[in-house]
Each structure stands twice: as structure tokens, then as C-alpha cells.
Amino acid sequence: MTFSVYYLRRTGLLILFGILTTLALSAQQHTISGTILDEGTKVSVIGATIKLKGQQGGTVTDSKGDFSLKVSTLPVTLLVTAIGYKYQEIDVYESVPATFYLTEEINRLNEVVVTALGISKEKKSLGYTMQELKNKDLQNSNETNVLNSLTGKLAGVRITNSQGDMGSSRIVIRGETSIAGNNQPLFVVDGVPVDNSQLNSGGATRDFKNAIADLSPEDIESLSVLKGPNAAALYGSRAAHGVILITTKSGKGQKGLGVSIHSGVSFSQVTTLPDYQNTFGQGSNGKFSYVDGKGGGINDGVDESWGPKMDGRLIPQFFSNGVAVPFVAHPNNVKDFFQTGLTFDNGISIAGSDSKYDFRLGVNDQKQKGTVPNSEINKTNFTINSNYQLTKNIKVGITGNYIVTDAPALPGGPSGNRAAGVMLQFLWFGRQVDVNELKNNRNINWNNSYYSNPYWNANYNTTSQQRNRFIGDVHLEAKILDGLNFRFRSGTDYYNDRRKYTIKYGTNGTPYGSYAEDAYTVDEKNTEAILQYTKKLNADFSFDGLAGFNVRTRTYANNYQKAPRLAVPDLYTLTNSRDALTSSNYYSSLLVYSGFASTQLAYKNYAYLNITGRNDWSSTLPRNNRSYFYPSVSGSLVLSEALKIKSNILDFLKLRGGWSEVGNDADPYQLATVYNFQTAFDGNPIQTSSQRKLNQDLKPETTRSTEFGLEASLWHNRIHLDVAGYNTISLDQILEIKTTAASGYTSQLINAGRINNHGIEVQLDVTPVQSRNFKWNVGLNYSSNKSKVEILDYAGQIKNYTIGSSGGVDVLASVGQAYGTLFGTVYLRDNNGNIVVGANGLPKADPKNQVLGHYTPDWLGGITNTFTYKQLDLSFLIDANVGGKIFSGTNRTGNYTGVLAQTLPGRDAANGGLNYYYPGNNTSATKVLLTGSTAPGGEVVYDDGMIFKGVQANGSANWQVISAQEYYKASYNISEAYIYSSTFVKLREIKLAYNFSRKLIKKIGLEGLSVSATGRNLFFIYKAVPNIDPETAFSTGNAQGLESLALPTTRNYSFNINLKF
């Protein structure tokens, strides 16, 4: 089920399932019995009061939601009330046990939500937007990275999915507010801030998962998004990019002992593989013959597909030992390399509670076999969440999440890595290659000048990862006086992450193999004490306030060691090395003290004023600048109450607004410029400049944000609308600006930069149809964010900040432009905009680089349709990302190598190629275009001629014929040619779930049983860029909009069963 179902539950409309229609015959004493469940969550409603209409008598549901009642006549009408649910009348006609569902009472006046620091507040009192997802919106997707399951469900939240099926996901809320720094929100799990880094070092990198992917969606009870500074101001220096509060499941509300079992399996297939051509095979200029795969035969060292037609002609090939065998296409050779990915996700949890305690113990195991052969990740989550009422006034508790990840082999090395990259070899490829021949013998390959066999790479040149993580806390809550409470919490997020990189002896390009170990330890600790005071001042005013402090430490350690050449094969140890090891280590720690306070003043129950303040003292800033204060003020006015304008049409209307200032400190050790040691030379130590000029006068970054919003419910909550507008200015940004090396340093750290983000977010929830058994709900979200880099340095000298680069394209923060400008080479054009072509018939590049677009989208939207028919739920989510540009390395390379179908036009007469010849058959001479099919001197005639559309230097139309091979290679170094719109519309998710009626399953001793089938990332309804998925993340960093031979994304089908007894 999806996000809109959550709203469905909130719409406060009465829906009744399973009404009995049979007439009872007996007129004597009848026992009517049944179970009352929550319509949305299907859990028991405990303590619901049942009365008889027009008669005496009644009862209350027990801990399982069951009731039983004696009546004298049938039919009767039951009047059911329960706190938090809509009052309901149920007609009962017979004395057969039945299940009744109650709809949660969405009284927008009483709705309580969890806000910053875990403080519960009435939602109507908040001066900012707040969006929540519940467990059912996240579970059963079997997503291996929890962030992916949020895609399209939250307004203003941009999630970029993993490449392949084992990579990182990037999440950004309300646009990039930091030019250079991290733009990911802060994640807080059960009150404990947790790490979401993507750790990488030592040069050997791949797209590792970001750390929040460690959490299992099955353990998550709810997830609240604090979108930006206004909502998150109490988190002070970490609030600028928003906060995601995650509450894990607990045993609260579980009477007696309950056991839940979850079991799921999912299958994944690669999608968006490049569209390959299947007409021409490996080689160059139409010629190919294999001898040694490294230039010994005819073009057999060439890893491109400009060879002969694959028409069955006989040519020696890599597997044929010199025998000429048919040269034929293998259209699925790349697809066949990938396998169906398989993920098993199984979990069991036990929960219970009574008046003194509650607890939940859970274990969840996920085994994933990836789509790349040999890739595998195993992850086990152990969770505990328990509270104990020590005395009447003191409650203590713990939460613990222990996560063990063991990935024996992760797919793909760094993109472009010859020893481990996957798509590299499939874009520099021979289209005739039969991968089964490669699979059968890993010691041979179709090309030996550049690569080893892809199965060799996948099986021997592996990256493994072992990660052990503990997230947990101890907490205490004490009631000191009436209205005065004390809360204490000490939490930690600690993990070790060890990676091992092996390259096998004999790998092409790494003949001795290599072995590297990369180890990280990250430890974040937060200890927090809060005093909370609530008082009703008089009949109209009430006060709610808190004050507290927090001590935060974070330590990070990395150690990387590499044996660059192994001494003997197949022994992967650091001592098995021909050379001195290359090694590095890095240690950092930071300490932040914080004090904070917040107050809320309420007038009657419709006007609220909220003020917060926080002061941080950070170790990373110089003495004079390390103390900094962040205030926020916001207000809310429930107009429908204040003006008493409630009507049949308007249920609820609220206006809200606020202003806040938050900020950010620096990373550790950014004050003093240092010199690094390098490996000593023959006993002589080496020191050298770090090339980074640091700054002793750093100030904290500041982000100021203003937000206004409106929330309205209409027609008995059948329409619910929430609109938010915001404007954020981030200034004094800590920028490590790239500088020309001629300045003495390749980068300098400055406090400068101003970036503006403003945008609008709309959430609309509509229930167009609802009847007894059927309900249709539409949840829609839209967000648009516009950014503008206003200033980089205050002197105005620096116009660009380089965020990242790939394939000659830079991603910049460029003054006056939107964040994430793509900058690179363009075609040389004349004054009329025609491409200038050289005398050789090839286009020329403009020596001056140009802006090619920006990667940030214009708007994002998602629409979820949910259909509920009796116990069957069907939902589907379509999301769209409109605008933004991407530079595609896949298209660039695939055009160059002639493997893509888009390189077919012009390659022979059948594909529209022009005839030409070389005068005197001198292939070094200039080609001459032919209108007929015979050359004047009887020369050989070629039919793969093409003419690049453009003008010659003198302005006349270009007529110089070139070969198709030259044509498609001509733009390789012209970035403009491979810039595409990243607009797409995707069928993101279809989910079908069935909840068995309790009547049925009770007989086999179950409390709950549901089955579901989910399909994710099913297909593109529209996309502008060919051959790739435009939404793959390059990494979790800010350098997006660059695609570099990314692993294909996957389509997943998952099947889940959930049992409760």
C-alpha cells in the first residue's frame, strides 16, 4: 500500500467492510460477536465501546479487539465508539462472528505528530509543513535501500535511485542549500542522530551504499520529514538540509504476547540496457579477423564494432582456435551476462506490553543476489526496543539496532576500471560476441588488448564489504512536578566497515594482481537532557516550553593499505606483496556543545506562537567564531476555528508561517594549512604541500528560511490540500573553492557564497469514489524548487565553483545560474548558428567552454492511485521528474564504438549510407562523394558515407563525405553532443495486497495474515535520454547530472507474506 492510503485513513470517512446481510431467524437470545479492527492498519481496536441502539446493554472490546454481546432480537444496530475513531453504526442481522472496521477519526484539531527532538505536538499548532509516512507505505517493497521506497511519495523530496541494484541513493529536501557541503538531511532514529555517509577513500572506489541503507524498512514504524530549517531549527547546525525522523516499531499497545513473521522474495531484472545494433560486429573499417585479440590479427585488438556485417560470413573468432566460424549477431549478449537478481527478506518479531513495560525484539535477514554474476549482499538486523515503568514517575528504556552486513562481492569497480567495471566492457564491445563462450572459459576473452573476460572480472576481481553497526540509546523520563518533566537520552551510532579489493594475478592491465584493505570506524555519540514545562496560564492562554543541552562527539578513522603487486597468485594478504605497501590513514574527531530552548504560546485552541533558540559551540571553528546562536519563530492560525467558518464544505482551514536561521559548522581540521608526508624515498622522508589553503578565520555557515503555508480540508475530508511556499538563503558558506594552481593551491577554503532556493510544494489528497466496499483515493504531490547561486566570493572574482567532473564536463555552481550547472565543450558555430566543419569533413570544437544546462529538475511530481475493494488493496504510483540535463557517458562511448543502434544510420547503403571512393584506391587520400555506384577510375566504392551537417570555414554547406565510423566518432570530445534532458515519467510502483478476514484465519490460530505483490521501477512512460536510466545516482555527492557507464537499474517484483499470531 502506498502513501495515499495513509491519507485515506485520515479522511475520516466511514467505510465498512464485511457487513453481514443474512437475516437471522431465531427470536430468542442471540449472541452476536466479532472483532473490531482498524481499517487502515488492520490491527485490533482495544477498548471500543459497543452499545445497542434503542436497547439497554453494551460491552467493550478486549485486548484482541474481540467482543461478544447478548441481544434478544435481531437485527440490531450497534453503536461503536472508540477514542481516535469515527463513531459508527453497524447493522447486524445474524449471530455469526464477523469483523468490523473502524476508520480513524481524523480530527485535524486533535492530530498529534512527532516533531524535532521527538517532541509530540498538535499538528495544528505547527508553523511549518510536516509529512509522515507509515510502515505500510514502506514495507513489502523489499527495497534494499530504504530511501528508494520514498521516491515519489513526498513533496519537495528528491531521491536519486541507485545505479545497478547495490548502490547508493541520494536524498535532497528543498534543493541544495549548501554549495559545497553535504546536502543530505540529518537522519534521527528513535532520537539518536545516525550517520548517512557514503565512505570512500584510497582511490579504489565504487558506488557504495549510503549508511542509512543499513536500516530495514520492516523495522520502521513511521518516518517524518522535517523539510528544512523551519521545522528542524531545534537541531541547530545540522538542520539546514532538513531532518528525517525515523521511529522504529515498539511493543506499545500490544496486549499480551504477539509474534509477527514477515517473509518476502523479490526478483530483479536489469532494465534500460543500451539499445544495441546487431548488424555490424567487432573490428574497424569493416575488417576483422581474430588471432591473439591484441593486434595480431586484423583489427582484433580493436574493442569497437565497426567491423564486418554479421551476415554469417566465416571469420576466425576468439573461441575458435583460428578456425573460421560464422560471424553472427548475438543480440542478447549483454542482457545474457546479467542474471535475475534474487532477494529473500525474512523477519520475525516478538512484542508485548502491560502497564509496567513494553518490549519488541526482532530479527530481520535479507539475502540479496545481484543482477551481476557473483554479486551478493547479506544483511541481518537485530532490534530491541523496550521501556519499563520504574516508579510511578520514572520510566526508563533502551533501543538497540545491531546490523551485520556481509557482502562477499559487490558488482562493478569504479566506472572506467578495466579490471572490475562491468558496463565498460559492454560499451567497448564486439556485437558478435557470444557470452556463453566467455562463460564457459574464463581464461579467454574477445579482446586481449584491454580487458580480461567479464566473468573473470566478476568472479575474481571483487570488492567485498563487512560492516557491523550498532545504533542505540538508553533513555529516562521523569515527572518532577505537575507539568514539569525531565528527559535524558544517551545514544550512539557506531560502525566498522571493512572493504577488501582483490584483483587476480593475470588480469589484463594488472598482470600481478593486487590486494587492498580499506577500513573505517565511525562513532557518533549524543547525550541530551531536556526539561519540559506545560502550564495553562488562564482560560485563553497556555504555555509549553522546554530547555536542554546536548553534547555531540563524532570520531572517524580510516586506514587503507594496498599490496600493489602480488608476489604469488590467489593469496590475498597484505604481506603477499612484491613492493612496499601503499598506505594511508586519517583520523578525525569533533565535539559540539549545544544549549537550546523552545516555547509555545497558545491562545484558545486556534492561535499558536512558537519560538526556538539554539546555541552551538563547535570544535571545528576558531575560538572567536565557535559560539553561534540560531533562532526561529513561527505561528499557526486555525481560521476555521477562529472565525467559526466551519461548514459542510469546509472542515478545516489553517494558515501558517515562520522564519528561522540555522547553520553549519565546518569539518574538522579546516583552520590550519598543512603539509603531508608521502612515502619516503630510499630513507629520505618526503613532505609536500597539501595543495589546499585552509582558513584560520572560518565562520559558521548560515541558512535563513521563510516559509508560509495553508492547509485545508473540504467535503468531510474528501479533499485535503496542503500548500507550502518557502524561500531559503544560505550565506557565508564554507567553500573549498577550486582555484587555479597558479594561486599556489588547487583549492582554498573561504567563507563566502550565497545561494537562494525558493519553491512551492503541494500535497493534494482526494477521494473521488467511496462506497461500502469500494474506495478510490488519489494522492498527488508536486514540488518545484528554483535555485540561484548569487555570489561565490565577496570580492566577486570567482565565477564558478567546481562540484565535480566527468568525461570533460564540469558540474559547477556558477554565479547567476541554477545550482548544478553543466559546463563543457560545444561545437564551433558560425554567426548563424551552423556547426563549423573542417576541411576533413569533421566538426570542430569551440575552444571556449559553454554552459550546457543544469542537472536540477524544474519540478517533481508523484501521483498515487489506491483502490480498495473489501480486503483487497491495489495502488500504483507514477512519478515524474521534469527538466534538468544529464551528460551521458554511455551514449558518448557507445557512439564512438558503434555498438548502439543509433549508430546504424549511414553505415551501409541499406541504412542510407552514401557512396564514395578514394582516388587511386589510396585510403590516405580524401574521400570523394559519388552520385552513382561506379568510381571514375574503377576504384573500390564504399557505401558507408555520411556528411556532417554544417558549414565549411567559408560559410558554404559542408559536402565533404566521411565514413560512418568517422561520423559517429567525431563528437566524442564535444560534450554538447551527449547532453540530454533528464525528464522522465516512471511507473514507479504497483502494489496489490490482500488482508485475510480474521474470521477465516482465526480458525488456524492467526491474528493477522496478509499477502502482497509489488512491482517497482516497472517501466518508463516517458524518458528523453536513450540507452540509460536518467535518474541513476553518480554517488551521494553533489556532482550529479553525470552518467558514466552506469550499471543498468533494475525492475523488481516482490512477493510478501505477513503473519501475526
Partner 1 sequence: MIKNIFYVILVASVLSACNDKLDDVNKNPNATETPSAAYLLTGTLKQGADLYWGSESNFNSSLLFVQQWAKIQYAEPDRYDISNTGFTTLWNTGYSTLITDMNTILNFTDQQANPNYKGIALTLRSWTFLLLTDAYGDIPYKEAGTKVTPAYNTQKEVYTGLLDDLKQAQTLLNTANGAVTGDLVYKGNIATWKKLVNSLRLRIALRISDREPELAKQAVIEATGDAAGLISSNSEIFKFVYTSSPQQNPASAWFETRDDYRISKTLVDKLAGLSDPRLPVYAQLPSNAAIGKYAGAANGLSNSDANSQGFANTSKPGTYFLTSQSPAVIFSYSEVLFGLSEAVARGYITGDAEQLYKNAITASINQFGITDAGVIDGYLNQPAVKFDATNYAKSIGEQKWIAFYGQGLDAFAEWRRLDYPVLVAGPATVLDGQIPTRFFYPGTEQSLNGNSYLAAIKNQGKDLLTTRLWFDIK
Q: Considering only residues 585-604, where is the footprint of partner 1 by CB under 8 A?
A: 585-591, 593
Q: Residue 605 Cβ, how far from partner 1 at the closest point, in Å? A: 41
Burial class of residue 830 (count of CB atoms within 10 Å of its CB; 0-12, 13-18, 19+): middle
445 counts as binding partner 1 under rule CB under 8 A? no
Buried b / exposed e along 453-480 (16+ C-beta atoms within 10 A): bbbbbbebbbbbbebebebbbebebeee
Quote the CA–CA distance of 820 and 810 in Å, as a whole number: 9
* Out of 344, 450, 486, 549, the residue judged to bind partner 1 by CB under 8 A: 450
* 121 lies in the binding site for partner 1 (CB under 8 A): no
Looking at the DSSP bridge assignments, the partners of residue 880 are: 861, 985
Which position among 391, 647, 831, 924 is part of the footprint of partner 1 (CB under 8 A)? Answer: 924
Q: Provide the 8-state DSSP code for 299.
A: S
- Check binding of 574 to partner 1 (CB under 8 A): no
User: Of the listed pieces 166-174, 224-232, 531-539, 801-809, which binds partner 1 according to CB under 8 A?
Assistant: 801-809
Query: Nearest to residue 159, comparing CAs of 179, 180, 173, 176?
Result: 173
Closer residue to partner 1, CB minimum distance, 296 or 312: 296
Q: How far is the CB of 809 from partner 1 (least distance, A)?
A: 10
For residue 249 the three cell numbers come to: 516499531
> E strands along 906-983, which residues?
914-917, 928-930, 941-946, 962-963, 979-981
Q: Should residue 29 be labelled a site residue for partner 1 when binding is judged by CB under 8 A?
A: no
Q: Find the part of the chain contacting partner 1 (CB under 8 A) among 270-278, 385-393, 531-539, 687-695.
A: 687-695
In contact, 357 and 250? CB cutoff 8 Å: no
Binders of partner 1 in range 299-318 (CB under 8 A): 299, 301-302, 304, 306
Give the number of other CB atoms < 10 A from CB of residue 576: 16
**Bridge partner residues of 360 (DSSP):** 351, 385
Compute the radius of gyration of the chain from its Cα atoms: 32
Among 669, 859, 867, 1061, binds partner 1 (CB under 8 A): 669
Q: Can residue 668 be called a binding residue for partner 1 (CB under 8 A)?
A: yes
* Whether the Cβ atoms of residue 228 and residue 758 lie closer than 8 Å to each other: no
Q: Which of 110, 332, 687, 771 binds partner 1 (CB under 8 A)?
A: 687
Furthest-apart CA pair in the chain: how many Å? 113
Q: Does 526 bind partner 1 (CB under 8 A)?
A: no
Task: State the minimum distance, in angstroms, from the CB of residue 843 to partner 1.
Answer: 11
What 3-state class would DSSP assign to 48? coil
Give the footprint of partner 1 on residues 163-202 (CB under 8 A): none
Q: What's the grid cell of residue 185?
A: 538531511
Q: Which is nearer to partner 1, 805 or 981 (CB)?
A: 805
Position among 677, 774, 1019, 1022 found at the interface with partner 1 (CB under 8 A): 677
Nearest to 508 by CA among 431, 586, 428: 428
Site for partner 1 in 504-523 (CB under 8 A): 509-512
689 forms part of the interface with partner 1 (CB under 8 A): yes
Q: Does 900 bind partner 1 (CB under 8 A)?
A: no
Per-residue contact track with partner 1, 937 to 976, x per CB under 8 A? Answer: -----------------------------------xx---
Does 893 contact partner 1 by CB under 8 A? no
| Nearest CB to partner 1, comparing residues 27 and 742 | 742
Does position 416 bind partner 1 by CB under 8 A? no
579 contacts partner 1 (rule: CB under 8 A): yes
Q: Is 768 within 8 Å of 186 (Cβ atoms)?
A: no
Residue 276 DSSP code: B
* Three-state DSSP state, 1051: strand
Q: Which of residues 260-299 bind partner 1 (CB under 8 A)?
A: 283-285, 292, 294-296, 298-299
Residue whose CB is less far from partner 1, 910 or 925:
925
Q: Which stretch binds partner 1 (CB under 8 A): 90-98, 160-168, 667-675, 1023-1031?
A: 667-675
Picking from 737, 837, 746, 845, the residue whose alpha carbon sits closest to that of residue 794 is 737
Judged by CB under 8 A, which stretch of 32-40, 536-544, 828-836, 840-848 contacts partner 1?
840-848
Using CB under 8 A, pick the residue from 18, 352, 416, 564 that binds partner 1: 564
Rule CB under 8 A: choose which of 439, 442, 479, 799 binds partner 1. 799
For residue 808, state whether it binds partner 1 (rule: CB under 8 A): yes
Whether 491 contacts 469, CB under 8 Å:
no
> Is residue 1044 part of the contact set for partner 1 (CB under 8 A)?
no
C-alpha to C-alpha distances, 858 to 385, 708, 728, nearest whole angstrom: 42, 21, 17
Site string for partner 1, 728-767 (x = CB under 8 A): ----------xxxxxxxxx-x-------------------
Q: Are 708 and 725 in contact (CB under 8 A)?
A: yes
| 420 sits near partner 1 (criterion: CB under 8 A) | no
Helix (H) or strand (E) run with residue 106 in it: none
β-bridge partners, 190: none
**Cβ atoms of 592 and 665 closer than 8 Å:** yes
682 binds partner 1 (CB under 8 A): yes
Site string for partner 1, 846-875 (x = CB under 8 A): -xxx--------------------------
Number of residues lying near partner 1 (CB under 8 A): 93
Taking the complex as a whole, the smallest distance from the CB of residue 619 to partner 1 amounts, in Å, to 4
Cβ proximity to partner 1: between 810 and 879 the closer is 810
Reading the block at residue 160, the C-alpha cell is 536519486
Q: Does 674 bind partner 1 (CB under 8 A)?
A: yes
Closest CA to 724 of 830, 790, 634: 634
Please name the residues in contact with 401: beta carbons below 8 A apart, sequence gap of 6 or more: 189, 215, 219, 248, 381, 382, 383, 469, 470, 471, 472
Q: Closer to partner 1 by CB, 450 or 1053: give it.
A: 450
Identify the residue among 23, 56, 648, 681 touching partner 1 (CB under 8 A). 681
Give which of 407, 377, 374, 317 is closest to 504, Cα–Cα.
374
3-state secondary structure 566-622: ECCCCCCCCCCECCCCEEEEEEEEEEEEEEEEEEEEEECCCEEEEEEEEEEEECCCC
What CA–CA distance (Å, rounded) separates 836 from 834? 6
Measured from the CB atom, is 440 or 923 closer to partner 1? 923
Per CB under 8 A, does 629 bind partner 1? no
Is the bond preceding residue 75 a cis peptide, omega within 30 degrees? yes
Say whether residue 524 binds partner 1 (CB under 8 A).
Answer: no
Among 825, 958, 1027, 1056, indicate the residue that binds partner 1 (CB under 8 A). Answer: 825
Question: Burial letters for 94-121: b for 16+ Cβ neighbours within 10 Å, e otherwise?
Answer: bbebbbbbbbbbbebbebebbbbbbbeb
Identity of the residue, 684 or 931, whose beta carbon is nearer to partner 1 in the bound complex:
684
